[in-house]
Structure 1
Amino acid sequence: MSAPRTPVVADPVVVAAGTTAADAVAAAGLPTSGPKAVVVVRDPLGQLRDLDWKPAEETSVEPVSLDSPDGLNVLRHSTAHVLAQAVQDVFPEAKLGIGPPIQNGFYYDFQVDKPFQPDDLAKLEKRMQEIIKSGQRFRRRRFTSLDEARTELAAEPFKLELIDVKGEGLDSSEVMEVGGGELTIYDNLAANEDKVCWSDLCRGPHLPNTRLIGAFKLMRSAAAYWRGSEKNPQLQRVYGTAWPTRDELKAYLRLLEEAARRDHRKLGADLDLFSFPDEIGSGLAVFHPKGGVLKRVMEDYVRTRHIEEGFQYVGTPHISKEGIFHSSGHLPYYKDTMFPPMEMEGSDYYLKAMNCPMHNLIYRSRGRSYRELPMRLFEFGSVYRYEKSGVIHGLTRVRGFTQDDSHSYCTKEQAPAEIKHLLGFVLGLLKDFGIDDFYLELSTRDDAKPDKFVGTDEDWATATAVLEQCALETGLDLVPDPGGAAFYGPKIS
């Protein structure tokens, strides 16, 4: 959700050796203030650089404006730094976690003595406004060794852990290499002097100065585990949003208000459709009579449409012995998101988190003729996944849900036609329910992490090419998702 904007698009500019990107931007007459200001540049390798970057040789770079997607990320990342500085000003005992940009905003994690309260957020906003108005400058420094970084950040235990992760395999006194092993810190400098007001371990890039933060708001705070693991300390996460102009911030907040009025959790309670009783457990819904009517009508329609499209309705149990999830290959990759096993009669049983292994058993229950292919199996399969409590959200992120889940068994030669059929069917079914604004996402394998995927390179290349061609033939926008593939193959979302 974001307010509409038209980013400035500028021709490449040339940065002379020994001069800054800011010099080249100014010489080209490009804006350096306001909502369309150029805030960073992209070098020939695609890396974003601060405006005070000086290349060793003459380099052509692409100016990146504040109102572009990359510029907005830089804006929000810089605002996260301002938030962290404000927190340590107001709460000196606070220890720093991480603070990345996210869609439409940013967050930063902190270890503090007690959770933040609404009054605390108001105090932090006031301090942030003071920092922004003072026009602090962001300056990048590179550490020459791990020891230097550890010494400077000795009071920040979480930053020390990140340094250890970054420096794994390096000698403590070894000089850090520019590039892959580079370790950098950003100083917030007073407007007209080199006085360091605050510093943070960060790879950047950042805005030239805080005055380019046009408008921001702290939204809420919540608990979050360090690096996403329940085994680690629980921190306090502060969420915020930032925009080039106050009007854009107001427009975004209005959109949030409208979304809140239409929030399905509120409507579910107001219309007596469903609830989440604490007695059952987090993320487990019960449907009331009115909700049951809606659910049944939707299921009846979806079942009919599947059968019309050649799918055969099947049914499988909610629980199974462990071995089935090993034979399908799922358990090593999905065990962390499955509920713990139950030991019965000498075997471990799992609540199923996916229907694929059981459909495979139905397919192989007897010999099959090529005349049966493609064979399309489908069910309303109830599955259970151990989602972390912090990500559970109404009916959109739950621990127990029912999938209208299908699997098609076909020859390699039949695969392209079967994918086209399935893709057309799914898009048509969604349109039947009034959902008609789509783009497609192609999730591919990360070749740098071969241990996370099964199968041969040839199979992956073939499957990816087939999926891409089928997606392009729909005429919809296709967005790449590098590294987002399932362990067993690429996918279209």
Structure 2
Amino acid sequence: MSEPRPSAAEPTPRVVVPAGTTAGAAVREAGLPGKGPDAIVVVRDVDGRLRDLSWTPDADAQVEPVAADTDDGRSVIRHSAAHVLAQAVQQQFPEAKLGIGPPVRDGFYYDFDVDKPFTPEDLQALEKRMKQIIKGAQRFSRRKVESVEAAKEELAAEPYKLELVDLKSDVDTDEVMEVGGGELTVYDNLDPRSGEQVWGDLCRGPHVPTTKHIPAFKLTRVAAAYWRGDEKNSQLQRIYGTAWESQEAQDTYLERLAEAERRDHRKLGAELDLFSFPEEIGSGLPVFHPKGGIIRRELENYSRRRHEESGYEFVNTPHITKEQLFLTSGHLPYYADTMFPPLKFDEENYYLKAMNCPMHHLIFRSRGRSYRELPLRLFEFGTVYRYEKSGVVHGLTRVRGLTMDDSHIYCTKEQMPAELRSLLRFVLDLLADYGLSDFYLELSTKGDTGKFIGSDEEWAEATETLRQAAVDSGLELVPDPGGAAYYGPKISVQAKDAIGRSWQMSTIQVDFNHPKRFELAYTASDGSRQMPVVLHRALFGSIERFFGVLTEHYAGAFPAWLAPVQVVGIPIADEHAPHLADVAEKLRAAGIRVDVDTSDDRMQKKIRNHTTQKVPFMLLAGGKDVEAGAVSFRFRDGSQINGVPVDEAVRTVVEWVGRRENESPSAELVKVEN
């Protein structure tokens, strides 16, 4: 999941910084804002590098001013807030040793080595101290350290910083190190009156000019973290926070965060009795309860139906395989770290299946294929197992056992463009049927590392064909350089949910390499043997993840066609229950999932209970309803329609469910004839 991509402000005009002049002076001379949400906080030079406003070029330089309310501007504010946090921690806890403190999506964190875990009271005290530091308008001042030896001498009391000094190079972005590739720099926090150093940190920057340029911040939580993400290293305390260009922007974010918490699928899963994660089974291995099983079955059944209508053929493959299969496919050793360790039988290594594609290739290869069979679309709900680290596992959205709605399409090169367009349309239409309709696309391409296989020419052809299919869809296309799978480029469908968060859904990949590795071939119309192209496609990503996303999208109030209980009958008194039992029988005969609440609770409590359980249709009946052969509708939003004839009520529910309406029914939306 990711939060909404902030829309960029209007393009800021470029500014020339004369030699010997600070960027800040040039920005002020240009009349650009220095205060407020659109204040200029850094500039971007011609090489694309962000520079402090105190930067002074040796020759005239054209720069792009970067405002606080842009992605880069917010990132700089958050990085600066992380430094203020570290300063506050070391003032409050002088024995604390510093780890790293990068900006991250929507916030920042800083890692500390301390004797005792931080408490909620500690966070409150640190926020207060940070506000004092910010109010003091300390100036961020960049200083180059002349040598590794000088840096080590200055940082002798900071063991983790000393390790970074030894690295003295850019590292993997997941570790977010603070040391620049070509030089070592420190940012000092200077007292605005005396100019004396108050605090400093090894960092490559840039930063806002002064602490007063951090308009809004909040510390959010504490978590344990391992140094450099390795469980073999020291365990540190990580404090998370958020910072924004204005209090209004922060308040909007915090409200969105609160709404996301209310929609948390893990909480709703327990409240609605949908699924659980028994410790006896293991982390990241969910079990679905009867109600969750119904929703999952409906998700899968509708998908199966749509696939059948679109010419897919269903296959099934085992959960375990010999090691050689993943060596042939190339998944070993590329993905060895995320695969469960092998099991040894009869002197051979077997692996739990981590992906379905190699087995589908064997099905294609099991007999001779003709061009007349292509495109051949194989489909499977295939359960796979991947070892996610404990800190990464998260509810249903990041699990260790997942069922992929996996498809592999085998086609000719000539068929590939049309097949990709059709495939993308099929994916978008099916996601829309489940209630997701706000999409953009991400194109993941080959990077510069050595992990990619295949020729540059094939990659270029595959990438361009995918790009054109994405363009033809009419959706926004966002580049993702280096994000491709090792065997080919991919398109990811990003869907926004009801509160504007983006989730990666379907992926479509073009693969020229597996056909070579598995020696896949078909007989062409001229009798020659040709190699097909493989298109990999996971529509939901995984059933588990899609289930979690939909739970949060609908806040647990699933559409009536997916709801585990679609209708509940609520009698006003015991003597009215037989009437509702007759109504329930008619609904069941029409395929509707219905219960009648005959508990001892009072009617109003029954209504509250089933509203909390988010049942879409409640049918109430009292004496007048029984006499008139009618029921009254009650909906999740509290609205009601009284005195509806039983046959009309049954017809209304059956038609609503049959249309697979994704809106929650209400008195305003449901049309009945009394």
1:56 positional shift: 0.8
Seen in structure 2, the aligned counterparts of structure 1 residues 424 and 368 have a Cα distance that, compared at 3 Å, is same
1:9 positional shift: 3.9
Structure 1 distance, partners of 2:140, 2:104, is: 20
1:67 positional shift: 0.9
Seen in structure 2, the aligned counterparts of structure 1 residues 56 and 4 have a Cα distance that, compared at 3 Å, is closer
1:5 positional shift: 7.5
Q: Which amino acid aligns with 2:490?
A: K
Helix, strand or coil at the partner of 1:452? coil
Q: Which amino acid aligns with 2:483?
A: G
Contact 1:379 1:405 in 2 (8 A): yes
Do residues 118 (structure 1) and 120 (structure 2) align? yes
Q: Which amino acid aligns with 2:189?
A: N
TM-score under structure 1 normalisation? 0.95
Partner residue, 2:488: 489
Partner residue, 1:132: 134
1:336 positional shift: 0.3
1:164 positional shift: 1.8
1:251 positional shift: 1.7
Contact 1:3 1:251 in 2 (8 A): no
1:6 positional shift: 7.0
Structure 1 distance, partners of 2:486, 2:10, is: 40
1:194 positional shift: 2.3
1:8 positional shift: 5.7
Structure 2 distance, partners of 1:292, 1:346, is: 39
Deviation string, structure 1 residues 57-84 (Cα, Å, up to 9, x no partner): 1111111111111101111111011111
Structure 1 distance, partners of 2:27, 2:54, is: 11
Deviation string, structure 1 residues 98-153 (Cα, Å, up to 9, x no partner): 11111111111111112211111111111111111111111111222222222222
TM alignment of 1:268-307, pairs within 5 A:
268-307=269-308
Structure 2 distance, partners of 1:417, 1:4, is: 33
Partner residue, 1:88: 90
TM alignment of 1:431-446, pairs within 5 A:
431-446=432-447
Contact 2:53 2:209 in 1 (8 A): yes
Partner residue, 2:567: none
Contact 2:42 2:207 in 1 (8 A): yes
Please say which of residues 290-299 and 4-13 is displaced more in the overlay.
4-13
Seen in structure 2, the aligned counterparts of structure 1 residues 246 and 478 have a Cα distance that, compared at 3 Å, is same
Contact 2:444 2:479 in 1 (8 A): yes
Structure 2 distance, partners of 1:39, 1:167, is: 26
Identity score, percent:
66
Deviation string, structure 1 residues 188-213 (Cα, Å, up to 9, x no partner): 11122321111111111100001011
Do residues 473 (structure 1) and 472 (structure 2) align? yes
Contact 1:8 1:36 in 2 (8 A): no
1:165 positional shift: 1.8
Q: Which amino acid aligns with 1:323?
A: Q
Partner residue, 2:193: 192
Deviation string, structure 1 residues 230-256 (Cα, Å, up to 9, x no partner): 222221111111112222222211111
Structure 1 distance, partners of 2:366, 2:116, is: 58
Q: Which amino acid aligns with 1:200?
A: D
Contact 2:180 2:203 in 1 (8 A): no
Contact 1:15 1:58 in 2 (8 A): yes
Structure 1 residue runs of 4 or more that deviate by more than 4 Å after TM superposition: 2-6
Give 1:56's match in structure 2, choosing from 50, 55, 58.
58
1:32 positional shift: 1.1
Helix, strand or coil at the partner of 2:337? helix
Partner residue, 1:175: none
Please say which of residues 233-242 and 16-25 is displaced more in the overlay.
233-242
Do residues 348 (structure 1) and 349 (structure 2) align? yes
Structure 1 distance, partners of 2:199, 2:11, is: 33
Structure 1 distance, partners of 2:297, 2:372, is: 34
> Which of the two has higher C-alpha Rg?
2
TM alignment of 1:115-194, pairs within 5 A:
115-166=117-168, 180-194=181-195
Helix, strand or coil at the partner of 1:18? coil
Do residues 384 (structure 1) and 385 (structure 2) align? yes
Structure 1 distance, partners of 2:480, 2:103, is: 18
Helix, strand or coil at the partner of 1:389? coil
Structure 2 distance, partners of 1:22, 1:230, is: 43
Contact 2:168 2:181 in 1 (8 A): no
Please say which of residues 111-120 and 397-406 is displaced more in the overlay.
111-120
Q: Which amino acid aligns with 2:414?
A: E
TM-score under structure 2 normalisation? 0.70
Helix, strand or coil at the partner of 2:74? helix
Contact 2:169 2:181 in 1 (8 A): no
Partner residue, 2:330: 329
Contact 2:180 2:204 in 1 (8 A): no
> CA-atom RMSD, angstroms?
1.7
Q: Which amino acid aligns with 1:293?
A: I
1:182 positional shift: 2.3
Q: Which amino acid aligns with 2:88?
A: A
Partner residue, 2:424: 423
Do residues 31 (structure 1) and 39 (structure 2) align? no
Helix, strand or coil at the partner of 1:470? helix
Contact 1:34 1:212 in 2 (8 A): no
Seen in structure 2, the aligned counterparts of structure 1 residues 249 and 3 have a Cα distance that, compared at 3 Å, is farther
Deviation string, structure 1 residues 259-305 (Cα, Å, up to 9, x no partner): 21121111111111111111111111000001101111111111111
Q: Which amino acid aligns with 2:431?
A: L
Partner residue, 2:399: 398
Helix, strand or coil at the partner of 1:468? helix
Partner residue, 1:233: 234
Helix, strand or coil at the partner of 1:358? helix
Structure 2 distance, partners of 1:443, 1:3, is: 17
Structure 1 distance, partners of 2:333, 2:420, is: 27
Partner residue, 1:100: 102
Q: Which amino acid aligns with 1:474?
A: S
Structure 2 distance, partners of 1:446, 1:153, is: 36
Do residues 369 (structure 1) and 370 (structure 2) align? yes
Seen in structure 2, the aligned counterparts of structure 1 residues 474 and 3 have a Cα distance that, compared at 3 Å, is closer
Contact 2:168 2:180 in 1 (8 A): no
Contact 1:220 1:239 in 2 (8 A): yes
Contact 2:169 2:180 in 1 (8 A): no
Seen in structure 2, the aligned counterparts of structure 1 residues 243 and 159 have a Cα distance that, compared at 3 Å, is same
Helix, strand or coil at the partner of 2:409? strand
Partner residue, 1:207: 208
Structure 2 distance, partners of 1:180, 1:39, is: 23
- The gaps in structure 1 that reach 5 residues or longer are 169-177
Seen in structure 2, the aligned counterparts of structure 1 residues 6 and 461 have a Cα distance that, compared at 3 Å, is closer
Seen in structure 2, the aligned counterparts of structure 1 residues 4 and 444 have a Cα distance that, compared at 3 Å, is closer
1:4 positional shift: 7.1
Q: Which amino acid aligns with 1:379?
A: E
Structure 2 distance, partners of 1:312, 1:372, is: 12
Contact 2:375 2:410 in 1 (8 A): yes
Q: Which amino acid aligns with 2:19?
A: A
Q: Which amino acid aligns with 1:91?
A: F
Contact 2:8 2:71 in 1 (8 A): no
Please say which of residues 304-313 and 411-420 is displaced more in the overlay.
411-420
Deviation string, structure 1 residues 395-450 (Cα, Å, up to 9, x no partner): 11111111101111122222222221221111111111010111111111112x1x
Seen in structure 2, the aligned counterparts of structure 1 residues 348 and 179 have a Cα distance that, compared at 3 Å, is closer
Deviation string, structure 1 residues 313-358 (Cα, Å, up to 9, x no partner): 1001111111111100001111101111111111111111111111
Q: Which amino acid aligns with 1:492?
A: I
1:3 positional shift: 10
Q: Which amino acid aligns with 2:158?
A: E
